[in-house]
């Protein structure tokens, strides 16, 4: 039995490289990037062409989107229905496209990011400009047609677009190893710049920008870096800074409303809700206390986001805060990458216009060559019919004397008279002199008798004169570049007149927003945290009125600065800092906020050992004691850090912090172990170390024993504790030395 399978041996890396390059080029050329000539990606081009083929014109009824998507997928774009429908949806959205190409009927989404309805519910048809400027000349052989994916249909390789759509509608796409991002521009300005280039191909980019000063986003807004645009349009890359448009309105009670009427182009979609949550977060995190209320009052009439400010708020300064902290000021990254001569290329403004103008001359040359040939055919036929009318009697005699059509046609074209019966010798002689062309002879044989009416003959002569005028015109257009250029510019002017609109985006130089935070008067307040971990701050007078209840109900109570920080030491050896301003300040009976919510502290993984204020720490020394009885004293100033979380001490594997305490008037420290050993020693025996040190051993421990509690005593002040139902006066414990065993308390 013969084995027909062939095993091809190849280098794995070479095969992978070749396959990946093929895949990458397929994505780049056939899917993700637009062609600079028509400004369309393949899926967009195929969708528009399919609608043209289906006859879904601007003056015809809408057709179901599902019908369009299915037909496009079946004939031209076998990459899934969602990509085709998504493309169709975007081409209907006037807030994404400077000039929508499809007229949608139904729910096609909105500027706030709500998606379109399913394609079975929506309907669509071509826009008038799409039909006139994108598809009008497809019947004049102006572009090449290529086979579709299964070679059962033909599709245009590019649409004969008569306007620089790549600039007008912009484009966004992600290919393999490259992206394209071109902002939309104003139709009138792009046409003016195109005409300026056609009149002077040596024109500079700076001069072109007198006609087209920059992008024109459908959402309006303010471009703030005008001086940087020249570099962007020369290189094709850069960053455009854009702000939303803000107005101030007077509200009741002397308040001011900040009203956002236009948003930056990158904010469209879900980023509007992100902006609203970011503004709310400014109030929640106390970045500003000026916000009273925020509401999104946007509708079909346009964007209207209202932020109500309190009476004495500085509205200008608040708007600067929005520019700094939210997406009300955003960046549009420009990378004008498109397919040019079959390969991806990043182009500047002048190169884009050149590619478009060259394309216009190419399709105009093919169009008028086609029209000229058509008129020359008409001229030939018209001249034959006029000549035939002058000898109509002879032609009728030939037709009546011929046996069949071929005999009559041979006589008309070659003067052959064999077999034809003539009434007179003169007619026979005249027939031999006939020299009509084949096309003329066919027209004569198919001519109807009513064409011999006087008015019809006169109309034929008039048509011939019109045909001759067209021939002279077309020849002039094809022979003289100036004439063709004028025709192209006239068409551009007609599109500008019918479809042009005023610029929406303002372009200017704006200084960077500067937000001045209000200087807060520094005062002392009281920090309270209960045993459930809820923290808050109250003023000193409130604390004095409720001192007994405050001290009883809360685990931690201390004085701090309203501009300072609170420091949390945990059993894992971490120090978490919290800005006092991040804690709620209010009434004594307010619940407070979980300490986890305003710090990196995680109550499920660590336990708070000590809390104090940064101000207090800076003035004191701090004692650390671990479960394995490692001890040290650290200067509190070492914990004045900018980070929210740092390591407060170094721990051996398996060890944990048992106690952290600021040294005030304490003179002795008492260590108590799990097995009941107590060791009292003077604080002076504990050495001072850096926070990154492990420390020294405080007492000798049995194999499985650990330090369980730490107490402090003052000279002359009796301190007692309750240990396993036994009262112990710590001052009476026998003094020991560091690294001693301590005294066993028996109960």
Pairing of strands 554-561, 123-126: unpaired
pLDDT given for residue 2 in this prediction: 47
Give alpha helix (H) positions in 62-159. 65-75, 81-90, 128-133
SS3 624: strand
Res 217: pLDDT: 95
Kindly name the residue from 23, 58, 121, 601 that is annotated as catalytic.
121
User: Which structure tokens are listed for 405?
Assistant: 């059509």
Token pair for 718? 């009796």
Mean pLDDT confidence for 723-740: 88
| Domains of the chain in sequence order | 40-160 (3.90.199.10), 245-327 (3.30.1360.40), 355-499 (1.10.268.10)
The pLDDT of 163-180, averaged and rounded, is 87
Catalogue the E-assigned strands of 77-134. 102-105, 123-126
For the stretch 603-656, pLDDT in tens is 889 999 999 999 889 889 999 999 999 999 999 999 988 889 999 999 999 999
State the average pLDDT for the chain: 90
Q: Are strands 154-156 and 145-147 parallel, antiparallel or unpaired?
A: antiparallel
pLDDT in tens, 393-445: 888 888 888 888 888 888 888 888 887 888 788 888 788 888 888 888 888 88
Angstrom distance (rounded) from CA 192 to CA 189? 5
Query: Is 176's pLDDT higher than 80?
Result: no
d(CA 38, CA 344): 14
391 against 574, higher pLDDT: 574
For residue 188, give Cα distances in angstroms to 206, 493, 600: 18, 9, 55
Is the model's pLDDT at 739 over the cut of 60? Answer: yes
To 10 degrees, what angle do helices 349-390 and 481-499 make?
Answer: 110
| 323 classed as catalytic | no
Residue 3 has pLDDT above 70, yes or no: no
Q: Which pTM value belongs to this model?
A: 0.74
Task: Walk across the sheet containing 743-744 and list its strands.
Answer: 707-713, 668-673, 677-682, 743-744
Query: pLDDT digit string (tens) for 648-660?
Result: 999 999 999 999 9
The confidence score (pLDDT) of residue 1 equals: 42
- Output the DSSP codes for 650-691: ---TT--EEEEEE-SS--EEEEEETTSEEEEEEGGGSPB--T
pLDDT of residue 21: 67
Q: Cβ(129)–Cβ(161) under 8 Å?
A: no
> Mind listing the pLDDT tens digit for each residue in 51-65?
999 999 999 999 999
Whether the predicted pLDDT of 385 surpasses 90: no
pLDDT-derived band at 334, boundaries 50, 70, 90: very high
Average pLDDT over residues 246-262: 89
Among 239, 236, 190, 247, which residue's Cα sits nearest to residue 216? Answer: 190
Q: CA-to-CA distance for 305 and 310, rounded, in angstroms?
A: 17
Rounded to an integer, the average pLDDT of 88-113 is: 93
Q: Is the pLDDT of residue 4 over 70?
A: no
């Amino acid at each position: 039995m013969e084995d027909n399978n062939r095993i091809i041996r190849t280098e794995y890396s070479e095969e992978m490289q070749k396959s990946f390059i093929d895949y990458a080029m397929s994505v780049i050329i056939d899917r993700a990037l637009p062609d600079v000539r028509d400004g369309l990606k393949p899926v967009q081009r195929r969708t528009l062409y399919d609608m043209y083929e289906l006859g879904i014109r601007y003056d015809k009824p809408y057709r179901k989107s599902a019908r369009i998507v299915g037909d496009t997928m079946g004939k031209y774009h076998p990459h899934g229905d969602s990509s085709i429908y998504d493309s169709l949806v975007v081409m209907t959205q006037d807030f994404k496209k400077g000039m929508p190409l499809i007229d949608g009927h139904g729910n096609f989404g909105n500027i706030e990011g709500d998606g379109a309805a399913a394609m079975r519910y929506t309907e669509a048809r071509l826009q008038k400009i799409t039909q006139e400027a994108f598809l009008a000349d497809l019947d004049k052989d102006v572009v090449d047609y290529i086979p579709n994916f299964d070679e059962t249909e033909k599709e245009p390789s590019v649409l004969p677009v008569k306007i620089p759509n790549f600039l007008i509608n912009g484009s966004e796409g992600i290919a393999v190893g490259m992206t394209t991002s071109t902002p939309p521009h104003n139709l009138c300005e792009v046409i003016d710049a195109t005409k300026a280039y056609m009149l002077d191909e040596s024109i500079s980019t700076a001069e072109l920008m007198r006609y087209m000063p920059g992008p024109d986003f459908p959402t309006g807004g303010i471009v703030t870096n005008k001086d940087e645009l020249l570099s962007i349009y020369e290189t094709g890359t850069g960053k455009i800074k854009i702000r939303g448009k803000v107005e101030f309105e007077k509200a009741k009670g002397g308040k001011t409303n900040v009203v956002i009427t236009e948003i930056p182009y990158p904010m469209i979609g879900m980023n509007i809700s992100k902006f609203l949550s970011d503004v709310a977060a400014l109030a929640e995190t106390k970045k500003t206390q000026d916000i009273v209320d925020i509401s999104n009052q946007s509708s079909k009439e346009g964007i209207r986001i209202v932020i109500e400010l309190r009476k004495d708020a500085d509205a200008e300064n608040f708007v600067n805060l929005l520019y700094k902290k939210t997406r009300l000021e955003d960046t549009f990254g420009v990378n004008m990458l498109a397919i040019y001569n079959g390969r991806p290329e990043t182009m500047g403004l002048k190169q884009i216009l050149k590619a478009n103008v060259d394309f216009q001359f190419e399709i105009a040359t093919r169009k008028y060559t086609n029209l000229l040939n058509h008129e020359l055919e008409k001229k030939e036929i018209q001249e034959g019919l006029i000549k035939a009318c002058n000898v109509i009697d002879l032609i009728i005699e030939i037709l009546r004397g011929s046996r069949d059509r071929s005999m009559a046609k041979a006589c008309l074209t070659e003067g052959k008279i064999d077999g034809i019966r003539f009434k007179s010798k003169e007619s026979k002689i005249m027939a031999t002199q006939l020299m009509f062309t084949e096309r003329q002879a066919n027209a004569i044989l198919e001519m109807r008798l009513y064409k011999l009416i006087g008015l019809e003959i006169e109309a034929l002569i008039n048509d011939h004169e019109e045909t001759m005028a067209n021939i002279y015109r077309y020849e002039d257009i094809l022979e003289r570049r100036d004439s063709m250029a004028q025709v192209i510019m006239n068409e551009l002017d007609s599109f500008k007149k019918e479809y042009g609109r005023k610029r929406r985006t303002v372009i200017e130089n704006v200084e960077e927003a500067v937000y001045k935070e209000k200087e807060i008067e520094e005062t002392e307040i009281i920090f309270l945290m209960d045993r459930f971990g809820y923290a808050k701050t109250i003023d000193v007078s409130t604390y004095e009125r409720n001192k007994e209840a405050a001290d009883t109900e809360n685990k931690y109570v201390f004085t701090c600065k309203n501009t300072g920080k609170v420091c949390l030491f945990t059993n894992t050896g971490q120090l978490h800092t919290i800005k006092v301003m991040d804690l709620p300040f209010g009434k004594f009976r307010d619940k407070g906020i979980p300490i986890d919510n305003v710090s990196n502290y995680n109550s499920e993984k660590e336990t708070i050992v000590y809390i104090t204020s940064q101000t207090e720490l800076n003035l004191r020394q701090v004692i650390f004691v671990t479960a394995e009885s490692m001890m040290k004293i650290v200067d509190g100033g070492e914990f004045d850090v900018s980070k929210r979380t740092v390591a407060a001490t170094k721990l051996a594997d398996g060890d944990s912090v048992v106690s952290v305490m600021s040294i005030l008037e304490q003179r002795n420290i008492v260590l108590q172990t799990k097995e009941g050993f107590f060791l009292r020693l003077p604080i002076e025996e504990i050495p001072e170390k850096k926070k990154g040190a492990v420390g020294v051993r405080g007492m000798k421990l049995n194999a499985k024993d650990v330090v369980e509690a730490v107490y402090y005593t003052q000279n002359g002040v009796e301190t007692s504790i309750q240990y396993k139902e036994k009262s112990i006066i710590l001052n009476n414990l026998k003094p020991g030395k560091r690294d001693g065993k301590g005294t066993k308390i028996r109960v």
